[in-house]
Amino acid sequence: MSQFRGVILEGYSNAGKTSVLKSLKQIQARDDSAERSVIVLSEHYSQILHRVNGELRKLYRNEHLQLLTDRVKMLRKLRDWEKELGQTQRSKGIFFILERFHLNHRVAYPNCLMDEIEEIEDELYRMGAKCALLTISPENAVKRIISRNPEVWNKKSEEDIRLAYELLLKQQQEYRVQADHSIIPTIEINTDRKEWELYAKQIYSINKSER
């Protein structure tokens, strides 16, 4: 049987996706029974905002769908190649980690038809994907926002910080709503304590238990 599984890390900025991703890679590397092949794609390869001539530009919906489709197509080809070769004890399958993916798309384009993203989710589901939605409590949101770039935020007005706080909470709630609509199993993890390795172990354990 093909051993192909993965983790999708979702959540608004400042929730700790990159920190958890780093810990996940370390935990998987220490697991003697883990897959030999690992694919890790940070948000740089799937996010909606891209720099063009030094300026950030938001991808159109269809552009972002194509971006995600291309990434899934890459995983599919590897899965099919594994099946063609035949599973061996030495290979132990493939493990993948994706940062910002299907939920990020759903939240960015909530008023659009979801047929295309549902097709992508269905394929990821069949590849054994599980999603972890990282969140921050309202009482810790402002502190987390400022802690990421204190030299920048300390120069901003209280109004700027309030707007950033309100946007974070609004987006977090939208992520929860969209996660309920997705076929991909999702767990929500509060990251207030910044215990990145603990969160990563929880995600890795849930994902591995259904191999």
DSSP class per residue in 32-47:
TTS-SEEEEE-GGGT-
**The pLDDT of residue 116:** 94
**The pLDDT of residue 31:** 92
- 129 burial class (0-12, 13-18, 19+ CB within 10 angstroms)? buried
**The pLDDT of residue 102:** 97
Homologous superfamily of 4-208: P-loop containing nucleotide triphosphate hydrolases (3.40.50.300)
**The pLDDT of residue 5:** 92
The bridge status of strand 49-52 relative to strand 55-58 is: antiparallel
**The pLDDT of residue 80:** 83
**The pLDDT of residue 180:** 97
- Digitized pLDDT (tens) for each residue of the chain, 211 residues in all: 457 899 999 999 899 999 999 999 999 999 988 888 899 999 999 989 876 667 778 899 999 999 999 999 999 998 888 777 665 555 578 899 999 999 999 999 998 889 999 999 999 999 999 999 999 999 999 999 999 889 999 899 999 999 999 999 999 999 999 999 999 999 999 999 999 999 999 999 987 755 5
| pTM for this predicted structure | 0.92
**The pLDDT of residue 141:** 96
Domain boundaries along the sequence of the chain: 4-208
What CA–CA distances, in Å, run from 65 to 25, 73, 115, 126, 204? Answer: 27, 12, 11, 19, 27
Which are the contacts of 13, defined by CB distance < 8 A and separation ≥ 6?
148, 168
Tell me the backbone φ, ψ of residue 32, rounded to 5 degrees: -65, -25
Half-sphere exposure of 91 (CA within 13 A, CB side): 15
